[in-house]
Amino acid sequence: MQNRLVGWIGTGVAGLTLAGCVTINIYFPAAEAEKAADKIIDQVWQLKPGAKPATPPAQTKGEAK
């Protein structure tokens, strides 16, 4: 009886160990990621030194969002 219990526990532990070793790989297209990075860098560099980025106008107290 005790050998059966140890066998079932061992099988369960082995199953959980195998399930815990699953790796999910996600691949991003390098060319598209590089284009997106270049676009962001270009947008950042368009700001002139000392210039402030555009901000939305301030809302008044009575104005609703």
**CA atoms of 28 and 3, how far apart (whole Å):** 49
4-41 pLDDT, tens digit per residue, is: 888 899 999 998 888 888 777 777 788 888 999 999 99
Output the pLDDT for position 44. Answer: 86
Per-residue pLDDT at 52 exceeds 60? yes
Q: How confident is the model at residue 53 (pLDDT cuts 50, 70, 90)?
A: low
pTM of the complete model: 0.32
Which value, to the nearest 10 degrees, does the dihedral of the CA atoms of residues 45, 48, 49, 54 take? -100
